[in-house]
Amino acid sequence: MKIIVMKLLNRLILFFTLTLIIVSCQQKKESSTAEKPQRPNILFMMSDDHAYQAISAYSDHLIQTPQIDRLAKEGLKFTNACVTNSICAPSRAVILTGKHSHLNGKIDNRLPFDTTNVTFPQILQNEGYQTAMFGKLHFGNNPKGFDEFKILPGQGTYYNPDFITKNEGKIRIEGYTTDIITEMTLDWLEDERDAEKPFLLMYLHKAPHREWLPAPRYYKEYTKKTFVEPETLFDDYKGRGTAAKTAEMNLLKHMNWAGDSKIYPELMDELGIPETANWDKNAFEREVGRMNPVQRAEWDKVYGPINEEFKKNYANMNEKELMQWRYQRYMQDYLGCIAAVDEGVGRVLDYLDRSGLSENTIVVYTSDQGFYLGEHGWFDKRFIYDESFKTPLLVRWPNVITPGTTNTQMVQNLDFAQTFLTAAGITPPSDMQGESLIPLFKGETENFRDAVYYHYYEYPAVHMVKRHYGIVTEDYKLAHFYYDIDEWGLYDRKKDVHEMTNVYDDPAYAEVVIKLKNQLADLRVKYKDSEELDQMYIDQVAK
Ligand code: SGN
Ligand code: CA
């Protein structure tokens, strides 16, 4: 009897031990896959001032961008993506921190970024991502959280650019900046990428930022093209209040002749054309003057005859013709820049395909904000109005995003940080203010936000766009211009797509105004913005 009990006990012990071993093996297996799930790579491609009007996936009336369009075909196109503050460095700060400008402190291009902010690349790096950044950052200091970076100092230049690098100090590279940034990105993918780790790679073009210098291989083609004029090229800004009227972004009145339209400084003197701004000729020298003799000869070969032609016609051109000429010149150079960006994007996408990385890489193409391509007679950005407020956004993520889909939700650059962290399986810090876009990637659009908050600060400054904050919903846009004025603007987005009429004082909209003002006040509370902060940022600049 004792022996039977012993045997039974032994068997039971054996059974439990075996079960324990099997269970713990299974757990181990699970936990090791949990430790090492297939975390996606992130390739974040962003250009500077690339208007959605100049991407053929959005509209092909100006240019074909077949490479960028691949992302729309193979991924998701957002048609209502927008920024929180339409200007370069602030937009980048919002992207990296996932916080509005008033909280991350980078309200305008002037003061350096506060590097005590926590950015999503820092978090990804801590969690085992390999991180690299190439191109334009524009922060006034170096990025944190990157294993490798090569960034342009400030705005950078189009030719023979300098780079601030993590490992080689300051370097200068001969050539065309867009191509150089592409090469750096490709070199890193080929030679530096650690196959054991997922990566975050930020590929950040300077182009097509002012002064719009195209790649030599596109000079001829683009300077011969004629582009369709926007309906509002001759806008007189009536019916919109002070801010639109006093902004200095008009193609005819505020564009530089030498720097922007590429009229030789000598020819300006000869024709008696005064500088638009006192740095007009300097802007030309800063860029064109930087070319080496070979580059300069190639440039003169194409831009010389344009100057000759202008010299012949100038005396007989009226204001309307001058405006039209400047618009064409502007588009030729701006779109010529984009041609090289598109090519670069294609080369990087080809590399992902060739190396089998496409499958597990989230690829984003966006711009730091939108841009005016002659709409309202303008260039530049800054305003809450659509062309500057909206930004292109294309995302490809195989197996998550259905190819060729479109999303109309109001997503913002504020959302990137949380989106990327969530995609990497990391819980975003609770003080980030965006929303993860992953449900939208999967086609789940219910209960996404119904309004966004906007706040622009850089005034008084170049282009003189007054400070304003506002709310944008699917149907309306309400903005408050403040500092040296106190004006409100309301636009009916459905009825007035070009935003030509401020209906704020129209009695038919009285109820809409009340409702939106309440919603705006709620948004300011939700995002922790306030009159105290408005004043603090006014005082900061005054110092
Ligand atoms: C420069 C440009 C402006 C532009 C700002 C900000 N002038 O000052 O036209 O608005 O940068 O651009 S330039 O002739 O010097 O290029 S941003 O993209 O950095 O915000
Ligand atoms: Ca920009």
Token pair 């902004």 is found at: 247
Please give the distance, rounded to the nearest whole angstrom, from the Cα atom of residue 210 to the centre of ligand 1.
Answer: 6
pLDDT at site 25:
42
**Whose Cα sits closest to atom 12 in ligand 1?**
88
Please give the distance, rounded to the nearest whole angstrom, from the Cα atom of residue 78 to the centre of ligand 1.
Answer: 26
- Flag whether pLDDT at 37 surpasses 90: no
Provide the sign of the torsion angle of the four alpha carbons 217, 175, 298, 303, taken in this order: positive
- The pLDDT tens digits for 327-347 are 999 999 999 999 999 999 999
Q: Which CATH architecture has domain 41-211+330-444+453-542?
A: 3-Layer(aba) Sandwich (3.40)
Asked if residues 435 and 449 have their Cβ atoms less than 8 Å apart, the reply is yes
Asked if residues 150 and 180 have their Cβ atoms less than 8 Å apart, the reply is no
- The pLDDT tens digits for 82-100 are 999 999 999 999 999 999 9
| 283's tokens | 């802007």
Please give the distance, rounded to the nearest whole angstrom, from the Cα atom of residue 330 to the centre of ligand 1.
Answer: 15
Mean pLDDT computed over every residue of the chain: 94
Residue from 155, 281, 290 whose mutation best tests the ligand 1 pocket (most atoms within 8 A of CB): 155
- Flag whether pLDDT at 35 surpasses 90: no
Amino acid at 467: R
Q: Enter the pTM of the model.
A: 0.93
- The pLDDT tens digits for 446-482 are 999 999 999 999 999 999 999 999 999 999 999 999 9
For ligand 1, say whether the CB of 48 is within 6 Å of any of its atoms: yes
Ligand 1 atom closest to residue 369's alpha carbon, by position in its atom list: 18
pLDDT at site 542:
74
pLDDT at site 31:
42
Ligand 1 atom closest to residue 155's alpha carbon, by position in its atom list: 19
Ligand 1 atom closest to residue 379's alpha carbon, by position in its atom list: 9
For ligand 1, say whether the CB of 209 is within 6 Å of any of its atoms: yes
Q: Where are the domains of the chain?
A: 41-211+330-444+453-542, 229-329
Task: Name the burial class of residue 189, with classes exposed (0-12), middle (13-18) and buried (19+) by CB atoms within 10 angstroms of its CB.
Answer: buried
Please give the distance, rounded to the nearest whole angstrom, from the Cα atom of residue 241 to the centre of ligand 2.
Answer: 25
pLDDT band at 27 (very low <50, low <70, confident <90, very high): very low
**Whose Cα sits closest to atom 2 in ligand 1?**
210
Cis upstream peptide for 143 (omega within 30°) = no
Q: Which ligand is nearest to the CA of 458?
A: 1
